[in-house]
Chains A and B, each alone.
Chain A
Amino acid sequence: MWKWLHPYAKTERTYHLCQKLLPWFSLLGLAVILFASFWGLAFAPADYQQSDAYRIIYVHVPSAVLSKSLYITMAVSAFIGLVWQVKTSFMAMMALAPIGAMVTFVSLITGAAWGKPMWGTWWEWDARLTSQLILLFLFLGVISLYKAFEDKQQAGKAAGVMAVVGIINLPIIHYSVEWWNTLHQGATILKLGKPSMPAEMLWPLLLSILGWVIVCGAIFLLRMQNEILQREIRRPWVVALANKSSTLNEGK
């Protein structure tokens, strides 16, 4: 695996790989997310208990699932950067952090909008909600810690340590609904046995999760390119690339 991964430690290769994947991720992600949202909003049956309010699940669950998986991905790339001194993995970490912060924010907002009609409150200092808020602060902390250092190698290390340490919050989020008495309901999909949801509700949910993953993937590719450009601003290949793209734009 290392041999296969090695060329992508070179930023130029990575940049071009991102460029190649970007249109596919963007178009496919947009198509899947729109299709799944429309399915969930208009065609999935209403819930017997929550009627149409439950449709918030089609944005709440994808964003919440992604917030945790993006954190794990970010922490893993931070770990790789710290241990093997791979420069690109710190760039991946910094490309992922804003996306993670955004989906965590969305999960909190949609959770509030769901909590108001169902629990009668926008916000409660409850275990699940609070640990999710801490996750948002962890993402923001990684971003601001990285920005606080002038030397980006140093910045990557500091922010990387924070990302790795912060992983302690993930099991807390996941098991908060079991460990404490909380307003938040237990797991619906990820649990032993069958998911407690009929297929005509579950399918659009799984599809919207997929859609969110691909869209965030597209944003990641763009942000990864930005990180590379930022760090390698004086490299000859970057200069050649910028010249090429500016002549392309003039031609349009």
Chain B
Amino acid sequence: MAFEDLNSFFDMGGYGLYVWLSFGASALSLLILWLDSFFSKRTLLTQVLKEQARQTRIKAAAEKNNNGETT
């Protein structure tokens, strides 16, 4: 361990602000991008289902129309 106690670890020899700013910004950026990717995947999968439901509705409506015309 390069530090004697937790306080000197957070202090980083007086450079605490800069060191923790860098590590914080990195962690935050990675996390945000990962969360964005993760939730877009979920959204896309539900979107696929919605699109499928829409297609079946369109098909059903078209068939209904067709039947109406023929009979």
Partner of B37 from the list A53, A60, A223, A233 (CB cut-off 8 Å) is A223
Size bracket, chain A contacts: 35 or more
Which residues 132-166 of A sit at the B interface, judged by CB distance below 8 A? none
Nearest chain B CB to A228's CB is how many angstroms away? 9
Q: Are B48 and A113 in contact (CB under 8 A)?
A: no
Partner of A99 from the list B9, B22, B33 (CB cut-off 8 Å) is B33
Quick check: is A215 within 8 A (CB to CB) of the other chain? yes
Per-position binary interface string of chain B over residues 19-56, scored 1 when its CB falls under 8 Å from any chain A CB and 0 otherwise: 10111011001101110011011001111110110010
Nearest chain B CB to A35's CB is how many angstroms away? 14
> If the complex has contacts A44-B2, A46-B2, A59-B22, are A102 and B30 also in contact, measured as CB distance less than 8 A?
yes
**Bound CA span A218–B38, Å:** 11
Q: Are A242 and B13 in contact (CB under 8 A)?
A: no
Q: Chain B interface secondary structure, helix, strand, loop or mixed?
A: helix
Quick check: is A55 within 8 A (CB to CB) of the other chain? yes
**Bound CA span A42–B1, Å:** 6
Which residues 193-244 of A sit at the B interface, judged by CB distance below 8 A? 215, 218-219, 222-223, 225-226, 229-230, 233-234, 238-239, 241-243
Q: Are B33 and A230 in contact (CB under 8 A)?
A: no
Write out the residue numbers on chain B whose beta carbons fall within 8 Å of the beta carbon of A243: 49, 52
Write out the residue numbers on chain A whose beta carbons fall within 8 Å of the beta carbon of B1: 42-43
**Bound CA span A46–B22, Å:** 17
Partner of A113 from the list B13, B25, B51 (CB cut-off 8 Å) is B25
Q: Are A246 and B13 in contact (CB under 8 A)?
A: no
Q: Are B18 and A238 in contact (CB under 8 A)?
A: no
**Bound CA span A119–B60, Å:** 70
* Stretch of A3-11, A70-78, A81-89, A104-112 at the chain-chain interface: A104-112
In chain B, what residue has the closest Cβ to A111? B22
Quick check: is A45 within 8 A (CB to CB) of the other chain? yes
Q: Are B48 and A222 in contact (CB under 8 A)?
A: no
Q: Are A110 and B51 in contact (CB under 8 A)?
A: no
Closest 3 CB pairs of A and B: A242-B48, A52-B13, A53-B15
Give chain B's interface residues, CB within 8 Å of chain A: 1-3, 9, 12-15, 18-19, 21-23, 25-26, 29-30, 32-34, 37-38, 40-41, 44-49, 51-52, 55
10 contacts between A and B (CB under 8 A): A41-B9, A53-B18, A60-B22, A110-B26, A113-B21, A222-B37, A223-B37, A226-B37, A233-B47, A233-B51
